[in-house]
């Protein structure tokens, strides 16, 4: 007799196990300097996630520029994105609220509306940047770092409130590191852009904001000085996790379901082979995990195990941006079985 156990669960807004979490960064040089998206990917994967990160980032781009560039939409369509981070030009958010309402927010909405046509399940965030080291002297309202950072923060908060999407507060983590750890330099030589540690700061803040957990213990590529990893990780965790409500990070898009699907499958074993038959009652995208590191997207797959033993087989289904799964524990032997079917 086969040992059999059943487990059914319902998950919202997350990715099916084993399949990568796809993260897209839309930004400018504050995103692409030091290949920050890949620093984020490295960090997340070092902490046990399965993340693929990509970007469409063109130097000097405002949200309006992003919205008018065909390559932005081409990148959006390239795959189904789970998380999308949108970053504008720092000085466009250091403007008066009336300017931001007319020159930035409408273009953010254009980007989001287009994105959701091809990635309807995406969770969307705004990526708050930081002030220049000495501010922007050409504008009296932004002529110190403190003034510029406050206005950038206010501008991104305004957009977050207006469109009701969460905010990744990179600028506030940056500010805390400047104040509490002045020996840590986050700026590139031009004193505007991030150096490798500055990009690691952005990656840690993004990780904490998306996964709602501390990045402490994660690693970065060799180009990022490991001396300050822990301090930056701890600061990102402290600023983000204590302010989840402030930045709307407890808020996720909810996808309603009309009827909870009923998942089920049968297993017929013979020697080390197992024939799986999906008898679920709902349509959706199915994905199998056979418990030995092998997966399949076939509806009724046949799988050959290399060794005998007990395996947890999981059938995943994605429907209307919600994920469901059913687990059965099977025992595989090297005996020929006749008429055997696990229900």
pLDDT over threshold 50, residue 340: no
Binning the chain into helix, strand and coil, the percentages to the nearest 5 are 35, 25, 40
Q: How far apart are CA 115 and CA 109, in angstroms?
A: 10
pLDDT over threshold 50, residue 1: no
Each domain of the chain, given as residue ranges in start order, spans 21-241, 260-332
Overall fold of domain 21-241: Rossmann fold (3.40.50)
Are residues 77 and 34 in contact, defined by beta-carbon separation less than 8 angstroms? no
Spatial neighbors of 312 by CB under 8 A, at least 6 apart, are 291, 327, 328, 329
- Give which of 343, 341, 313, 328 is closest to 5, Cα–Cα: 328
Other CB atoms within a 10 A radius of the CB of residue 313 amount to 20
Choose the CATH number for 260-332 among 2.60.40.10, 3.20.20.60, 3.20.20.10, 2.40.50.140.
2.60.40.10
- Whether pTM > 0.85 for this model: the answer is no
The tens digit of pLDDT for each residue in 229-272 reads 999 999 999 999 999 999 999 987 655 556 678 899 999 988 89
Pair of tokens at residue 257: 């379901």
CA distances from 294 to 19, 188, 272, 302, 303 (A): 12, 44, 14, 12, 9
Only one residue has tokens 């300017």, namely: 99
Other CB atoms within a 10 A radius of the CB of residue 275 amount to 14
The tens digit of pLDDT for each residue in 63-120 reads 999 999 999 999 999 999 999 999 999 999 999 999 999 999 999 999 999 999 999 9
Beta-bridged to residue 6, according to DSSP, are: 328
Beta-bridged to residue 304, according to DSSP, are: 273
Q: In what order do the strands lie in the sheet with 21-27?
A: 51-57, 21-27, 83-86, 123-127, 167-168
């Amino acid at each position: 007799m086969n040992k059999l156990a059943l487990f059914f669960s319902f998950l919202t807004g997350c990715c099916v196990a084993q399949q990568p979490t796809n993260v897209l960064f839309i930004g400018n040089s504050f995103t692409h300097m030091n290949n920050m998206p890949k620093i984020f990917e490295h960090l997340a994967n070092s902490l046990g996630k399965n993340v693929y990160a990509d970007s469409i980032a063109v130097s000097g781009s405002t949200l309006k520029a992003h919205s008018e560039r065909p390559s932005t939409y081409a990148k959006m369509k390239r795959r189904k994105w789970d998380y999308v981070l949108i970053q504008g030009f720092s000085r466009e958010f250091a403007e008066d609220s009336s300017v931001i309402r007319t020159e930035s927010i409408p273009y953010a909405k254009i980007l989001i509306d287009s994105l959701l046509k091809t990635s309807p399940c995406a969770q969307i965030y705004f990526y708050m940047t930081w002030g220049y080291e000495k501010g922007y002297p050409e504008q009296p309202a932004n002529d110190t770092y403190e003034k510029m950072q406050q206005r950038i923060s206010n501008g991104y908060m305004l957009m977050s409130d207006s469109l009701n999407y969460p905010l990744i507060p990179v600028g506030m983590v940056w500010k805390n590191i400047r104040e509490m750890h002045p020996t840590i330099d986050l700026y590139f030589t031009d004193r505007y852009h991030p150096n490798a540690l500055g990009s690691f700061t952005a990656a840690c803040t993004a990780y904490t904001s998306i996964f709602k957990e501390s990045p402490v213990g994660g690693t970065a590529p060799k180009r990022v000085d490991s001396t300050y990893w822990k301090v930056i990780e701890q600061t990102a965790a402290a600023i983000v996790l204590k302010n989840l409500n402030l930045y709307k990070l407890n808020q996720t898009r909810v996808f309603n379901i009309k009827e909870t699907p009923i998942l089920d499958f049968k297993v017929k074993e013979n020697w080390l082979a197992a024939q799986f038959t999906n008898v679920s009652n709902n349509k959706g995208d199915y994905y199998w995990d056979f418990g030995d590191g092998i997966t399949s997207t076939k509806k009724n797959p046949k799988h050959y195990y290399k060794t005998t033993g007990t395996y947890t087989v999981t059938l995943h289904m994605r429907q209307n941006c919600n994920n469901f799964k059913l687990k059965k524990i099977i025992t595989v032997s090297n005996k020929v079985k006749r008429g055997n079917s696990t229900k």
